[in-house]
Amino acid sequence: DAGITQSPRHKVTETGTPVTLRCHQTENHRYMYWYRQDPGHGLRLIHYSYGVKDTDKGEVSDGYSVSRSKTEDFLLTLESATSSQTSVYFCAITPSGGAGETQYFGPGTRLLVL
Amino acid sequence: GENVEQHPSTLSVQEGDSAVIKCTYSDSASNYFPWYKQELGKGPQLIIDIRSNVGEKKDQRIAVTLNKTAKHFSLHITETQPEDSAVYFCAASHNTGNQFYFGTGTSLTVIP
């Protein structure tokens, strides 16, 4: 998994509660990404980061926020979880730059919002 | 933005036969096209990629072809084996952008 860890790997939560997912990398790569994966939709970009405190939105960013205070950690927060945010969340990195370069994925976090 | 379409959504082949998965893209600026294999409960893993200055690339039983004029690219798996059973995703991006755009996936089943 290219030195990427995600935590937790599984989480069950209730509607309206805040949830934070963590992505950790060991190689100090600049670019990091958060995706969600749902049946029939493939992988959709939520947010990405191109450096410490440098982040931008993807195509499905509503209801999500991110933070990157250290190169190695990229956090995804659901401020008030909803059932529509039940999904599998993947973190990814591109060691050699941004888009247009090889991307590697973490093992995923399975989130269930009841 | 870019739109990537992938077909078929499911594919079953007999062991030893070939499998072909096709993707189309809409943005002519896209110049990098990776393919990923995802096994159950795991993250996607890169299996092969191609850049727009190349028409074909092979790696053992796997090959990818790119037709820039028609804006489509395909994954070819020859001599399929049961361990090739997985979900395969195509993607497109360009090095002047910051995002990857993924197809919706193809579930490949290789029947022993």
Residue A98 is predicted with a pLDDT of: 73
Contact list, A99 vs chain B (CB under 8 Å): 32, 93-95, 97-100
Model confidence pLDDT, tens digit, residues A54-90: 999 998 999 999 999 999 999 999 999 999 999 999 9
* Average pLDDT across chain A, whole number: 93
Residue A46 is predicted with a pLDDT of: 96
Position with higher pLDDT, A18 vs A40: A18
Model confidence pLDDT, tens digit, residues B23-52: 999 999 999 999 999 999 999 999 999 998
Buried b (16+ CB within 10 A) or exposed e, A94-110: bbeebbbbebbbbebbe
The C-alpha angle A111, B2, B5, rounded to 5 degrees, equals 75
Residue B1 is predicted with a pLDDT of: 78
Look at A105 and B34 and tell me if their CB atoms are within 8 Å. Answer: no
User: Which range has the worst mean pLDDT, A22-31, A34-43, A97-106, B1-10?
Assistant: A97-106
Residue A1 is predicted with a pLDDT of: 55
Residue A11 binned pLDDT confidence (cut-offs 50, 70, 90): very high
When CB atoms are compared, the residue of B34, B95, B96 closest to A103 is B34
In this structure, the number of other CB atoms found within 10 A of the CB of residue B26 comes to 13
> What is the pLDDT averaged over residues A41-50?
92
Give the number of beta-carbon pairs within 8 Å between A and B.
66
Helix H, strand E, coil C: the string for chain B is CCCEEEECCEEEEECCCCEEEEEEECCCCCCEEEEEEECCCCCCEEEEEEECCCCEEEECCEEEEEECCCCEEEEEECCCCHHHCEEEEEEEECCCCCCCEECCCEEEEEEC
Look at A102 and B34 and tell me if their CB atoms are within 8 Å. Answer: yes
Q: Which of B16-20, B40-44, B96-100 has the highest mean pLDDT?
A: B16-20
Residue A84 is predicted with a pLDDT of: 96
- Give all strands (DSSP E) within chain A, no chain letters: 4-7, 10-13, 19-25, 31-38, 42-51, 54-57, 64-70, 73-78, 87-94, 104-105, 109-113
> What is the pLDDT averaged over residues B84-97?
91
- B interface with A, Cβ–Cβ < 8 A, is 1, 6, 31-32, 34, 36, 41-46, 49, 89, 91, 93-100, 102-105
Q: Which residues pair with B110 in a beta bridge?
A: B13
Contact list, A60 vs chain B (CB under 8 Å): none
Residue B97 is predicted with a pLDDT of: 74
> What is the pLDDT averaged over residues B7-13?
97
Show which of residues 5-34 on chain A sit within 8 Å of chain B, judged by CB atoms: 31, 33
Residue B76 CB burial class (10 angstroms; 0-12, 13-18, ≥19): middle
Is the Cβ of A61 closer than 8 Å to some Cβ of chain B?
no
Residue A63 is predicted with a pLDDT of: 96
Look at B42 and A108 and tell me if their CB atoms are within 8 Å. Answer: yes
Query: Which of A80, A62, A61, A70 is closest to A20 using CA atoms?
Result: A80
